[in-house]
Structure 1
Amino acid sequence: MQTVLEVIGWAGSLLVVASLMQARVLRFRWMNLVGAVLATGYNAAIGVWQFAFMNLAITVIDIYWLTRLYRERHDAEVYQVLPVDAANAFLRHLLDVHRDDIAAHAPWFDVAADAGTAAGGSRHTFLVVRGDEAVGVVAVTDAGGGVGRVELDWVKERFRDFTPGEFVYRESDVLRSAGFDRLEIAPREELDEEYLRRVGFTMHGDRWARPVAA
């Protein structure tokens, strides 16, 4: 029995420590929660009530934040979409700071390309923001005839367990205002197909596509 308790205590401590090294918000909260629950049980079992109370408090805090994060993940009042000029200084700074991460997830996207154009037409860029923090960027190239080709749908690692790009596709009129009736994405190995389906894209011929909501 003592051995089992020790294993639970160590597991809880290691999970709490490991959670602090997680960049993703949801992953951090879930690991921290499980670790705190185990540590609460261990400390209560051996009668160390100060640490049992501390870890119980952490458990309650984690449950609060997880509930809030899941409640807000699809809330259009929490995430907003801002159309920005492709030459916008803040946008250029954001893309440059996260150049390596963007290259890993969208190697075809040229961060250093001319600010207003891309291969095949002009580029429209949309910032997804949460409060005063920019959490993602969607860049769409105008292919003519109301068709937009999504060249970049990127989100910061902290928010990668969420789908803030959906607010560009579903919850705003920015695409319609930019003159798009249809969006297309060329199939690529790096694409998250589950995410594309979740935000309304389906395969049409040789590419992913979805209409732009009126």
Structure 2
Amino acid sequence: MLGIPAVEWFGYFASIVVAISLTMSSIVKLRWLNMFGAAIFSAYGFIIGALPVALLNLFIVFANIYYLRRIYTQTSQYRLLEVTSDSHYLNFFVEHYQPEIKAIFPHFDKSSLAQSPLCFLMLKEALPIGVFVGHVDEQGQMEIYLDFVMPEYRDFKIGKYLYQNHDFFAEHQIQSLSAVSSDARHSKYLSQMGFSQSTDNTWSRPI
């Protein structure tokens, strides 16, 4: 095609994959795609006899494997920090991500914070990456108003830490969870976290 050797198309494809990887907002997706692109580029370098290209990209492959392994195996890096509903940082975080929060949680607004006795910042090491707020009734059912994480950290890792944190639920006498979702991405997340869909927009799960 166009007089270009097939091996060059191989190189162009590798370049496209690497370029696309750099547009990913999720760190996990970025590393997976970048690793795939680097592997293709490394193979391309060996095929054409360009050892600097081949070896550099092979190093990138192993670097991505190292960091992906850390991402998937480390859970101690996550923490929940309880704050009050009038926390300046909590309100700043919600305001900063308001457009996306509104798209995923259309029923949530700033006034919902005042109705949320339980408000938490979700931390990765010392970095706030998300917010978790809700209300627990007398029967121990927690209605989740907001469970939002920054786009670059949406790898389900913090969610698994949160929803498998039995000490957290026991401390706050939470027996079951409920959430409302009208967003396909959020519904997929709830399903991954063990929620079952009870009505069109309502999801629930026991502890």
Q: With structure 2 as the length reference, what TM-score do the two structures score? A: 0.86
- Partner in structure 2 of residue 67 of structure 1: 69
Equivalent residue for 2:39, pick from 33, 37, 40:
37
Q: Which amino acid aligns with 2:63?
A: I
- Counterparts in 2 of 1:129 and 1:51: CA distance versus 1, 3 Å: same
- Counterparts in 2 of 1:35 and 1:177: CA distance versus 1, 3 Å: same
Determine the C-alpha separation between the residues in 2 that align with 1:82 and 1:172: 16
CA deviation string 1:33-84 (max 9, x = no partner) = 1111111111222122112221111111111112222223xx2x12111221
Q: Which blocks of at least 5 consecutive residues in structure 1 are unaligned?
A: none
Structure having the larger proportion of residues in helix: 2
Determine the C-alpha separation between the residues in 1 that align with 2:96 and 2:119: 17
Identity of aligned residues (%): 28
1:99 and 2:92 matched: no
Determine the C-alpha separation between the residues in 2 that align with 1:105 and 1:39: 37
Equivalent residue for 1:8, pick from 3, 7, 10:
10
Q: 1:16 deviation in Å? A: 1.2
CA deviation string 1:77-103 (max 9, x = no partner) = 121112211111111111111111211
Q: 1:131 deviation in Å? A: 0.5
Q: 1:8 deviation in Å? A: 0.8
- Counterparts in 2 of 1:146 and 1:85: CA distance versus 1, 3 Å: same
Q: Contact between 1:85 and 1:116, CA under 8 Å: does it hold in 2?
A: no
- Counterparts in 2 of 1:192 and 1:94: CA distance versus 1, 3 Å: closer
Q: 1:182 deviation in Å? A: 2.4
Q: 1:194 deviation in Å? A: 3.9
Q: With structure 1 as the length reference, what TM-score do the two structures score? A: 0.83
Determine the C-alpha separation between the residues in 1 that align with 2:126 and 2:63: 24
- Partner in structure 2 of residue 164 of structure 1: 158
Q: Contact between 1:138 and 1:168, CA under 8 Å: does it hold in 2?
A: no
Report how many aligned residue pairs link the two structures: 204
Determine the C-alpha separation between the residues in 1 that align with 2:170 and 2:40: 50
Determine the C-alpha separation between the residues in 2 that align with 1:171 and 1:211: 13
- Partner in structure 2 of residue 133 of structure 1: 127
RMSD: 2.4
Determine the C-alpha separation between the residues in 2 that align with 1:152 and 1:97: 15
- Report the 3-state secondary structure (helix = DSSP H, G, I; strand = E; otherwise coil) of the residue aligned with 2:16: helix
Q: 1:115 deviation in Å? A: 4.2
Q: 1:175 deviation in Å? A: 3.5
- Report the 3-state secondary structure (helix = DSSP H, G, I; strand = E; otherwise coil) of the residue aligned with 2:24: coil
CA deviation string 1:114-135 (max 9, x = no partner) = 6432xxxx43112211101112
- Counterparts in 2 of 1:175 and 1:61: CA distance versus 1, 3 Å: same
